[in-house]
């Protein structure tokens, strides 16, 4: 009853033909079956946000979704943020410039969360962004540099200096 079933996933524009048990979370399928280990797993019960990915453009906890549920959707992970090998996504660039990370464990979740939100809400203001950032946990930075990075990325994405 729980044997692997074939599944086609579209991740960062690439097609992955994998076979998973229904109980495989999307996070585990991305890491173990697609080899995309940029998505991190912290708590595995929806609290920490390290595993945040975009499904059809919306941020979700990939530990709280089964891989089979992502069939026919478009998934985007931290590996799919940068436009090419040379350039970083504006959110990644801003984290780089503003010391938005320390150990880096929570970083993929923050990057995906913020990139997804700013791409949909380029005019988001600080209070709104603080609320969004409260979704994820970081145990190193104290969040201030993450907020600074986010504000910086928002300006860059609006084309402001």
Partner 1 sequence: MKPSPFEYVRPRDLAEALAAIAQDPDDSKILAGGQSLIPMMNFRLARPARLVDVNRVPGLAGLAADGDRVRVGTLTRHHAMERTPLPGPLGDLLRRAAAHVGHLPIRTRGTFGGSIAHCDAASEWCLVARLLDAEMTVRSQARGTRVIPAADFFQAVFTTAMAPDEILTSIALPALDEHYRTGIAEFARRAGDFAIVAATAAVRVEDGLVTEARICLGGVAEVPLRSAAAERVLLGARWSPELVTAAAEAAAADCDPPGDAHGDPAYRRDLVRALIPRALGLDVRR
Residue 119 binds partner 1, judged by CB under 8 A: no
Q: Among residues 9, 12, 40, 49, which is the contact residue for partner 1, using CB under 8 A?
A: 49
Residue 62: count of CB within 10 angstroms of its CB: 29
Q: Among residues 11, 30, 59, 78, which is the contact residue for partner 1, using CB under 8 A?
A: 59
Nearest approach in angstroms of CB 24 to partner 1 is 9
**Region binding partner 1 by CB under 8 A among candidate stretches 55-63, 87-95, 97-105, 138-146:** 55-63
Q: Among residues 66, 106, 110, 115, which is the contact residue for partner 1, using CB under 8 A?
A: 66
Cα 49 to the center of its chain, rounded Å: 9
Q: Which residues contact 46 (CB under 8 A, 6 or more apart)?
A: 61, 63, 64
C-alpha distances out from residue 131 to 59, 110, 113, 125, 143, Å: 14, 13, 12, 10, 12
Residue 113 binds partner 1, judged by CB under 8 A: yes
Residue 6 binds partner 1, judged by CB under 8 A: no
C-alpha distances out from residue 148 to 12, 53, 71, Å: 27, 22, 36
Nearer to partner 1, 44 or 119 (CB): 44
Site of interaction with partner 1 (CB under 8 A):
1-2, 5, 21-23, 25, 28, 44-46, 49, 52, 58-61, 63-66, 68-69, 113, 117, 131-132, 134-136
């Amino acid at each position: 009853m729980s044997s692997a079933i074939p599944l086609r996933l579209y991740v960062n524009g690439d097609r992955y033909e994998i076979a998973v048990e229904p109980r495989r979370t999307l996070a585990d399928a991305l890491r173990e079956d697609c080899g995309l280990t940029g998505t991190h797993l912290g708590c595995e019960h929806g609290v920490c946000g390290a595993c945040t990915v975009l499904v059809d453009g919306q941020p979700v906890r990939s530990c709280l979704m089964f891989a089979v549920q992502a069939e026919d959707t478009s998934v985007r992970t931290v590996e799919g943020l940068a436009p090419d090998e040379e350039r970083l996504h504006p959110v990644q660039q801003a984290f780089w410039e503003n010391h938005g990370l320390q150990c880096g464990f929570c970083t993929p979740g923050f990057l995906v969360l913020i990139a997804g939100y700013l791409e949909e809400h380029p005019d988001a203001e600080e209070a709104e962004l603080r609320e969004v950032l409260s979704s994820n946990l970081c145990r190193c930075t104290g969040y201030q540099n993450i907020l600074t990075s986010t504000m910086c990325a928002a300006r860059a994405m609006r084309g402001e200096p």
